[in-house]
Structure 1
Amino acid sequence: MTTAFTLVQLSYFSAVARLENMTAAAAELSVTQSTLSSAISQLERELAVELFTRDRGRGLQLTPAGRALLARGPALLEEAELLASSVRSASEALSGELSVGIYAPLAPFRAPEILDRFEAAFPEVQLTFFEGDQGSLQEALHDGRCEVALMYDLGVDHRFARTVIDRVPPHVIVPEARAQALAGRSVVSLREFADDPFILLNLPHTGDYYLRLFRQLGLEPRIRHVSLGYETVRSYVARGHGYSILNQWLDQSLTYSGKRVVPLRLSDEFPPTEVSLVQRRDISPTRKAQAFVEVCRDIYQGSEGVSTPSIGRNEPSH
C-alpha cells in the first residue's frame, strides 16, 4: 500500500522540526497555525508514527521517527524540486538552503573562505554553518540539522562515512621568551617540555588525542590550565602560563591578549589528525551537499602550509 503524504506536509514538518515551535513555523510559512497543525497530524496518520512529543515545559520535541524523517526529508524535497524544474525546462541552478557543520576550531580558518567560494559558485543557495565539537557535529548530522560536516576524524563512529581531505600533524606553541631560550630552533621534541606547565585544549575527543601523544612517549603532562577555547589556550601561552599542543597551524602569532606565541614543529613521530568531510552512510547527499564537498576539496587541494600538507587526493575512510 502506497503512503499518500504530500510534499507540502513534508515541507511543513521540516519547518516545525527546525524551529521546534508551531507558532514560529506558521509565521515563517505564512499559514495559520491550525493549517500547519492539521498538516502535521495528517502526515503522522499517513506514516502511522508520532513525529513530535508535546511537552508543556519543553515544547515540541522530535521522536526517533521524527528525527529519521528530518534526516531524509531534504533530499526528497530537493529531488521533487529538480523534477518540477526539468518538467518545466527551467534552469537547473542550485537554490534553497544548506546547513553544514564545521568543527569550531576549524571555523575561523576555513568558514570565511568556504563561504566566499560557495556563494560565488552557487549564489542562489543560502549556506549556513553549524559550529560544534566532534560529538555535537555527529549528533547534528544524525538528526538532520546539517547534511555534511567539515571536522576532524577524532571519535567519528560507524554511522558516518568520511572523505579525508587533509592531514594536520600536531605542533607546540610556546611564549616568545621560551622560544628565545631555544636559540632559534624551529623543530623540537615534546620531551623537552616535560617539566613545563601544559595548557590543554579539552574539547571532546580532541583533549584525549593530545593526552595520547604524551602517553606515546611515556610522559605525564603537568596540566596547569584546561580550556574549551582555541584562542583562550593561545592567550594563556602568550602570557607565559605554559605551552600547548595544537594541530591547526597559524602563522599569525599575535593573540587576543596582545602577546605573541611561537609555533614549533615536533620531531616526534606523532599521528596527524585527519580533516574529513563527514556524512551519514545511509542517506544519499543532496546536490547542494555535493557542491559543498567539491568546494571544500578545491580549497584544501590548493592550500599551502607547513603543518597542513596536502594528501594529494581524497580517500574514503571506513
Structure 2
Amino acid sequence: MRLSIRQIRYIKDVAQFGSILAASEALHISASSIVAAINLAEGELGTALFERRPSRGVVATPAGEKFVRAAQMLLTAEAEFERTIATLKTRNKPSSEIRIGCFEPFGSLFMPDLIQAYVGRGGVPNVSLFEGDQNELHNWLVSGTVDLVIAYDIGPSFNGNVTPICQVPAHVIVAADDLLASRKAVSLREIADRPLVLLDLPHTGSYLLALFDGLELHPRIAFRTRSYTTVSRAVAAGFGVSVGNTSPLSIAEHDDDGIVRLQLVDKLVSPTLVIADSYGADKPDFVRSFINTAQELFLSSGRRLSS
C-alpha cells in the first residue's frame, strides 16, 4: 500500500477516538490530513473503513476493525524497532545531555528539585526540559525528541517502557483567607456549589470534571486556564476553588503563593505518576539514574504506590 506509517497511525487513532475531529485535536494535525489518509486507504482496499455518523463521529466497519488490528501490530513493531536502534546508539556512548519531557505543571512544582537531586548524585549536568500536555509528551517520546517523560497515566498510552513512581490523589486548593483554609480535609460535595478554577489541559480538564461527575455533582466553571501557575494565582485572587493532584515536594500548610491545599475525604481513583522511556530493559545509565532518583525523592517525601 502507498500509506505511510504516519497515515496508518492517523487511521488507528480515528478508530481509538471515534472521531476525526478528536483525533485531529489529539495529534495536533489538520482534519483534512486524516481524511486524506482514510480516503487513500479506502481507495486502495476498495472498501469503507469507517461508517460516518453525522454529529456522532465514526465507527469502524468490520474491514476497518481488521485494518486497525493490523495497524496496531505494525505500529508496535515500529516502536520496538525505534527502541532497539536508540539503544544501539546510546548503550555504550556517554551522554552529555538528558532531554526530559514533563507534564507542564510539574515544571513549577517539583522538577527543579528533582533535577537538582539527579545532577547532585552524578547525573548528566546538561538538562533540556520540555514542558507540555499529555498529548505533546506522547508525541515527543515517540519521535525521539526526549529521552524520557514524567507524566500521569491518563490520556494516550506511551509507546515505551513505563515505570510507576507514586500515586497522586486529588486535593482541593483554596485561598489562604478562605473559610475552609483552617480545615485539614473537605469533600467534593462541600465545594460543588463554589466557583471552580479549572486546569483545562487536554485530558486533565476532563479527568478533573469526571471526579465530580462520579458523585453526580455539577460544578460551575468560573475560570479556565492551561497554566497551573495561573490556577494558583486565580484561586489566591478569589476567583474560586480548584482541584489538583500534584503539589510541591516540600508540602507546607500554606503555599508561598497564598493558597492552601486540603485533603479530599472522598474515595476517588488516584492517577499514578509515571516515567516513560523508549529504551525498554536496555536503559542507558543516565536514564536509569534519573528514574532511581525520582523513586527515592518521592518516597522520601511520603508519596508511594498503593499496596
1:253 maps to: 255
Measured in 1, the distance between the counterparts of 2:170 and 2:218 equals 17
Displacement of 1:290: 1.6
Q: Quote the residue 2:189 is aligned against.
A: 191
Aligned-pair CA distance for 1:244? 0.6
Distance 2:281 2:202 in 1: 26
Cα offset, 1:74, TM superposition: 4.1
Identity of aligned residues (%): 30
SS of equivalent to 1:96: coil
Which amino acid counterpart does residue 256 of structure 2 have in structure 1?
L
Unaligned runs of 5+ in 2: 1-74
2 CA distance for matches of 1:156 and 1:109?
23
Q: Deviations over 1:154-206 (max 9, x none)?
A: 1141623322111111111122343x2x4832211111122211111011111
Distance 1:96 1:176, change over 3 A: closer
Contact 1:99 1:129 in 2 (8 A): yes
After superposition, the Cα gap between the structure-2 partners of 1:114 and 1:264, relative to the gap in structure 1 and judged at 3 Å, is: closer
Change (3 A) 1:156 1:303: farther
2:88 pairs with 1:76: yes
**Paired residue for 2:67?**
none
- Paired positions, count: 227
The residue aligned with 2:209 is 211
Larger Rg: 1
Equivalent pair of 2:91/2:282 in contact (CA under 8 Å): no
Which residue identity is paired with 2:259?
V
Gaps of 5+ in 1: 1-63, 82-93, 314-318
Superposition deviation, residue 281 in structure 1: 7.3
Q: Displacement of 1:111 after TM fit?
A: 1.8
| Partner of residue 234 from structure 1, selected from 215, 232, 235 | 232
Superposed CA offset, 1:107-127 (max 9, x none): 223222222222233365533
Cα offset, 1:228, TM superposition: 0.5
**TM-score normalised to the size of structure 1?**
0.64
The answer to whether the 8 Å contact 1:201/1:229 transfers is yes
In structure 2, the CA distance between the partners of 1:241 and 1:297, relative to structure 1 (3 Å rule), is same
Residues 123, 290 of structure 2: 8 Å contact kept:
no
**1:185 & 1:247 partners in 2: Cα distance?**
18
Counterpart contact for 1:197–1:224, Cα < 8 Å: yes
Classify 1:73/1:288 alpha carbon distance in 2 versus 1 (closer, same or farther; 3 Å).
farther
Counterpart Cα distance in 2 of 1:71 and 1:164 = 19
- Matched residue, 2:68: none
AA paired with 1:195?
A: D
- Relative to structure 2, which stretch is displaced further, 191-200 or 279-288? 279-288
Cα separation, partners in 2 of 1:241 and 1:173, compared to 1, 3 Å: same
**Paired amino acid for 1:310:** R
State the Cα RMSD in Å.
2.8
- The separation in 1 between residues aligned to 2:279 and 2:120, in whole angstroms, is 29
Residue type of the partner of 2:89? L
Distance change (3 Å), C-alpha of 1:184 and 1:300? closer
Change (3 A) 1:192 1:145: same
CA distance 1:204–1:183, change in 2 (3 Å):
closer
**TM-score for the superposition, normalised by structure 2:** 0.66
Report what 2:300 is aligned to. 302
